[in-house]
Chain A
Amino acid sequence: MVKENLVKDVVKEPYKYGFVTDIETEKIEKGLNEDIIRLISQKKEEPKFLLDFRLKAFKKWQKMDEPDWAGLGYGQIDYQDIIYYSAPKQKEKISSLDEVDPKLLETFDKLGIPLTEQKKLTNVAVDAVFDSVSIATTFREELAEHGVIFCSISEAVKNHSDLIERYLGTVVPASDNYFAALNSAVFSDGSFVYIPKGVTCPMDLSSYFRINSGDSGQFERTLIIAEESSSVSYLEGCTAPMFDTNTLHAAVVELIALDDASIKYSTVQNWYAGDEEGVGGIFNFVTKRGKCLGKRSKISWSQVETGSAITWKYPSCLLLGEESVGEFYSVALTNNLQKADTGTKMIHIGPKTKSTIVSKGISAGNSINSYRGLVKMGTKAKGSRNYSQCDSMLIGDQAAANTFPYIKSQQPNSEIEHEASTCRISEDQLFYLQSRGIEFEEAISMMVSGFCRDVFNQLPMEFAAEADKLLALKLEGSVG
């Protein structure tokens, strides 16, 4: 009984990012049609090719059906009841952070995001996206010295339209899937990164996504291009206020790595997950894909997924270049009535390509946590290898953990290994730790942290600590 109460106490830990910033915003009317798309494009003063890209995507989206294979069982989404563009009102052009509305800075301050000058010591460059637009990007001059372009995608469309035209939609085509098509039609902002040849990005780059209004969806698009022999580590974080309605988030992330380039993409996803009864929360439908185009290129995804009412996300790697490497490290935690269907796709196309998948799922409460992954060896992937490991931890007897690995091989000279297991926090281990004077909560936190260690080791320092804390906070004492 004591333990059960503890569970409830700890799980009740309020979502501390759930506040709403009271700021004047400019919103367009609800609904989705060609005029809305033209309006978004016009507001962002986009070139014609981008408007065409959007309209083409919209036409495809209209013909597509919403996917239901993940069996997530969420209610019908009314796509006409969403505001597709919402931006905080501010001065036309911002030349320095001093001109940003202090309320916005305060918001990001509350979230612990180092936007203001005094926090620059942390040595992470940040692009902060608030609802539909990017409000500030830090460290731009320092990065420019190295030739690194780090800006919002809207700016990139204006200043580097050749790169956008060349690469946008090459990894995730507009017709890829229902949510990618929707994003391609209405994406409002996001981050753009370009690392020139031979440059190792001098600092970690980070984008922070904040949904503020309850009735607008967020559709950001990220594009990262790493030229030959360059490397970059990119971090992504996200939060949203608590509303009792569901908010839609459909993002697309495209990564391109050329010869010998390496991209490390880390995410800590902590969107509002809804309350204990499952009211409210973000519907998170994300398409993330990286293309290892060059020889010996490497793309590594690491993610900690703790938020969202619904998560539908499969960061993938297309391994085209010879000896290219794809990695996926994931911790997905679901509690209460959350549903997560997440995993990866490793498509081995080029010879001697390698991929590693480590996925750790923790399900508590009445949640459903599924790993769904595809490993495919194409006919030319001679000498390729894959290793996958998917572990699930169940906390309480109401939570579900599913594993759906799709494995396909057309190349005899390749090797695929997959293993999966399920466990729970054992009473014996708990008893052992407690008998050594370790508090109940700390013992659980230690065990969860140990379970996730393989993934946390892959996260950048700043994130690893945050992720550990986040899990401990969400889970401590969840053993009944």
Chain B
Amino acid sequence: MEIIEKIKTNQLVENQTEIQKICLDKLKSSPLPNPKSELWRLSNKSKFSNFLDYSVNKKDLKFDTPYPKNSQNTIRLIIGENCQIQFIEENYSIQQLSEVELDKYIKEQISCFDQNENWSDLLNLSLSCKKNILGLKINGSKIPPIEIFSHASSNSLNAKTLVIFLEKNCDIELLQVNLGKEESSLSQSTFFFLEENSSLNHGVVSYGKNGSNLLNSLNVIQQKNSEYNLGSLHFKFNYARFEINIKQSEGNAKTNIKSMQITKKDEQISTYTKINFNGPNGFLDQINKSLADDKSHAIFEGSIIVPKIAQKTDASQLSRNLLLSDLAQIDTKPQLEIIADDVKCKHGATISQLNEEELFYMRTRGITLAEASKLQLSSYFQEIISFIPVTKDRWNLLDKILNEN
């Protein structure tokens, strides 16, 4: 793997920024994550090396999206393309973070990174050049929905970084779309900072093509009384990892997560979540759904950490999985680590196939097996898809996963 050699010899990127230097220093001694650690144990080694096989992309990318055209009601931003972003209206403002602000925040984050746990972020920040880091601060209300795109180009490794500060009392809907190309790797790291009383409805749709690889890391810090809702969908990737790291820094915040991954052929898609309650009265409602078909492998690992300070936490986590083929496999591990005693925490996990009784019922009503299966699947998907913002009218995701995939 060329990239690893380059990290070792400090030749990964030219004209390194200070952040790139710090990250490369952290990676240098052990450039690869420890395959024995829980977070990487199940990761398919050859697929992971596929991700690292491409050389770093230095050219500007042309953006051609298969998705709906921009409309006047939404703000569309493309990481790497927009030079100057500034929307200042009566009710709201969206402005780019200054270089100083951006550097300061990222450095703060890096200082608490662990080589293994934040390997994806360290790699991302080692690779991301200034142009590919988009930093925004948003405040106000009645903000139009925002769409932010990250995309890869064929036969190369691309890194994109997004940093967003949501100021007090701000309320937005944001859809993040990660597009993979044929034979490509995309490293996407996202950092959100939600100030008091702010609310973010966040959607993540990651959609690849043959031979696409993705490392998608999402870091959220929530101050008190903030609300973070995430709906995510990952499909069509040779190898994809979605790492969600949420910290309720003072407790008293609300987090809802509905995530889903669909694997077919010999794909491997995994979701790792870590929710840290750092204060009392935190709330979490999480559901992850997986569907594994053909020879694919779907993985979910979720951990909920409730230290002593986080009294009155109310957290639930559910992992629901559909295994549709004899050669596919599913691994799931919802875990709880609790020290505070006055808490309500629960988790559940199920692995099964389509419900035979329901299929039979529909077939007795004249619906073909194929259609009946589709109906059942659509109800399984719908719970997640309806939670992804900005999709209802413009993005026909359900149709896309049922018919194209």
Q: Are the CB atoms of B324 and A397 closer together than 8 Å?
A: no
Q: Are the CB atoms of A407 and B348 closer together than 8 Å?
A: no
How does the 8 Å CB contact mask read for A383-400 relative to B, with 1 for contact and 0 for none?
A: 000000000101111111
Q: Are the CB atoms of A412 and B348 closer together than 8 Å?
A: no
A411 at interface (Cβ–Cβ under 8 A)? yes
Q: Pick from A409, A410, A412, A422: contact of B346, CB below 8 A.
A: A422
B368 at interface (Cβ–Cβ under 8 A)? no
Q: Are the CB atoms of A415 and B329 closer together than 8 Å?
A: no
Q: Pick from A399, A405, A415: contact of B352, CB below 8 A.
A: A415
Bound Cα distance from A57 to B331, whole angstroms: 32
B34 at interface (Cβ–Cβ under 8 A)? no
Q: Are the CB atoms of B336 and A420 closer together than 8 Å?
A: yes
B334 at interface (Cβ–Cβ under 8 A)? yes
Contacts of B334 in A (CB 8 A): 405, 418, 420
A79 at interface (Cβ–Cβ under 8 A)? no
Given A404-B333, A407-B351, A411-B323, A394 and B346 contact (CB-CB distance below 8 Å): no
Shortest A355–chain B CB gap in Å is: 14
B338 at interface (Cβ–Cβ under 8 A)? yes
Q: Are the CB atoms of A409 and B338 closer together than 8 Å?
A: no
Q: Are the CB atoms of B351 and A402 closer together than 8 Å?
A: no
Bound Cα distance from A411 to B329, whole angstroms: 7
Q: Pick from B327, B331, B341, B350: contact of A408, CB below 8 A.
A: B331
Extra contacts, 17 of them, besides A411-B326, A418-B348 (Cβ < 8 A), are A392-B336, A394-B338, A394-B340, A397-B339, A399-B339, A399-B341, A401-B336, A401-B339, A402-B335, A402-B337, A405-B349, A413-B353, A417-B348, A419-B348, A420-B347, A422-B345, A424-B341
Shortest B314–chain A CB gap in Å is: 11
Q: Pick from A377, A379, A410, A416: contact of B350, CB below 8 A.
A: A416
Q: Are the CB atoms of A400 and B345 closer together than 8 Å?
A: no
A308 at interface (Cβ–Cβ under 8 A)? no
Q: Are the CB atoms of B311 and A397 closer together than 8 Å?
A: yes
B307-338 at interface with A (beta carbon < 8 Å): 308, 311, 321, 323-338
Q: Pick from B326, B341, B343, B349: contact of A418, CB below 8 A.
A: B349
Q: Pick from B342, B344, B347: contact of A403, CB below 8 A.
A: B347
A95 at interface (Cβ–Cβ under 8 A)? no
Closest to A479 in B: B341
Given A409-B351, A412-B324, A413-B353, A422 and B338 contact (CB-CB distance below 8 Å): yes
Given A412-B324, A412-B326, A401 and B338 contact (CB-CB distance below 8 Å): yes
Contacts of B326 in A (CB 8 A): 379, 410-412
Report 11 cross-chain contacts, Cβ distance below 8 Å, ordered by A residue.
Answer: A394-B339, A400-B338, A400-B339, A402-B337, A405-B349, A410-B326, A410-B327, A416-B349, A419-B348, A420-B348, A424-B341
Shortest B85–chain A CB gap in Å is: 44
Closest to B334 in A: A405
Q: Are the CB atoms of B346 and A419 closer together than 8 Å?
A: yes
Contacts of B323 in A (CB 8 A): 409-412
Contacts of B344 in A (CB 8 A): 422-423
Given A402-B336, A416-B351, A418-B349, A409 and B330 contact (CB-CB distance below 8 Å): yes
A406 at interface (Cβ–Cβ under 8 A)? yes
Q: Are the CB atoms of B352 and A416 closer together than 8 Å?
A: yes
Contacts of A396 in B (CB 8 A): 341
Bound Cα distance from A419 to B331, whole angstroms: 16
Q: Pick from B308, B340, B341, B346: contact of A420, CB below 8 A.
A: B346
Shortest B44–chain A CB gap in Å is: 14
Bound Cα distance from A58 to B218, whole angstroms: 47
Q: Are the CB atoms of A409 and B308 closer together than 8 Å?
A: no
Bound Cα distance from A400 to B341, whole angstroms: 8
How does the 8 Å CB contact mask read for B156-189 relative to A, with 1 for contact and 0 for none?
A: 0000000000000000000000000000000000
Closest to A419 in B: B348
Bound Cα distance from A422 to B313, whole angstroms: 11
B interface: dominant SS = strand
Given A397-B308, A408-B330, A412-B325, A419 and B341 contact (CB-CB distance below 8 Å): no
Closest to A368 in B: B339
Q: Are the CB atoms of A407 and B332 closer together than 8 Å?
A: yes
Bound Cα distance from A420 to B335, whole angstroms: 9
Given A394-B341, A398-B308, A412-B353, A407 and B347 contact (CB-CB distance below 8 Å): no
In this complex, how many residues of chain A approach chain B with their Cβ under 8 Å: the count is 34
Contacts of B338 in A (CB 8 A): 392, 394, 400-402, 422
Shortest B245–chain A CB gap in Å is: 19
A76 at interface (Cβ–Cβ under 8 A)? no
A421 at interface (Cβ–Cβ under 8 A)? yes
Bound Cα distance from A423 to B343, whole angstroms: 7
Shortest B397–chain A CB gap in Å is: 25
Q: Are the CB atoms of A415 and B351 closer together than 8 Å?
A: yes
Given A407-B349, A411-B323, A419-B348, A424 and B342 contact (CB-CB distance below 8 Å): yes
B337-395 at interface with A (beta carbon < 8 Å): 337-353
A407-446 at interface with B (beta carbon < 8 Å): 407-424
Closest to A424 in B: B341
How does the 8 Å CB contact mask read for A96-117 relative to B, with 1 for contact and 0 for none?
A: 0000000000000000000000
Q: Pick from A404, A412, A421: contact of B335, CB below 8 A.
A: A404
Shortest B329–chain A CB gap in Å is: 4
Q: Are the CB atoms of A418 and B345 closer together than 8 Å?
A: no
Closest to B308 in A: A397
Bound Cα distance from A151 to B323, whole angstroms: 48
How does the 8 Å CB contact mask read for A337-379 relative to B, with 1 for contact and 0 for none?
A: 0000000000000000000000000000000000000000101
Closest to B311 in A: A397
Bound Cα distance from A413 to B346, whole angstroms: 27
Contacts of B347 in A (CB 8 A): 403, 418-420
Q: Are the CB atoms of A406 and B341 closer together than 8 Å?
A: no
Bound Cα distance from A417 to B341, whole angstroms: 26
Closest to B343 in A: A422
Closest to A417 in B: B350
Contacts of B332 in A (CB 8 A): 407-408
Shortest B42–chain A CB gap in Å is: 9
Closest to A406 in B: B333
Shortest B173–chain A CB gap in Å is: 33
Q: Pick from B328, B331, B345: contact of A412, CB below 8 A.
A: B328
Q: Are the CB atoms of A397 and B340 closer together than 8 Å?
A: yes
Contacts of A415 in B (CB 8 A): 350-352
Bound Cα distance from A444 to B321, whole angstroms: 39
Bound Cα distance from A65 to B265, whole angstroms: 38
Contacts of B330 in A (CB 8 A): 407-409
Q: Are the CB atoms of B328 and A422 closer together than 8 Å?
A: no
Q: Which 6 A-B pairs have the closest CB atoms?
A: A394-B341, A421-B346, A418-B349, A416-B351, A422-B345, A412-B323
Bound Cα distance from A402 to B336, whole angstroms: 5
Closest to B313 in A: A422
Bound Cα distance from A398 to B341, whole angstroms: 8
Contacts of B343 in A (CB 8 A): 394, 422, 424
Given A418-B349, A422-B343, A422-B344, A409 and B337 contact (CB-CB distance below 8 Å): no
Contacts of B333 in A (CB 8 A): 404-407
